[in-house]
Amino acid sequence: AVATAVTYTSQKYVDELKKSGQFTKENQREALGLAVAQAKNLLTAEATAFLESAYGDLTEYLQSRIEAEVRNQKIGMATLTLSA
């Protein structure tokens, strides 16, 4: 969910702002919020419950994972994804 959310946010929001030179700190915070929301939408209720019981605050957990994923994607590190 995190890798998908980061890719989605980059394609739908970040890339255009970067092209126009308008990717500000405020836009970065907004992009993080969009990615967190997208990741939450992709998680099942069971996954959400598990993550909250294992890590506490879901938003905080997702923000840290998203930041790590953004870095991984920037340096071209492949992310393990599972498909159904």
- Over residues 29-52, the pLDDT tens digits come to 999 999 999 999 999 999 999 999
Give the rounded distance of the alpha carbon of 78 from its chain centre: 15
| pLDDT over 70 (residue 81) | no
Could you identify the residue written with the tokens 């836009």? 27
The H or E element that residue 53 is part of is helix 45-55
Prediction pTM value: 0.83
Ramachandran bin of 56, using left for φ above 0, alpha for ψ from -120 to 50, beta for the remaining angles: left
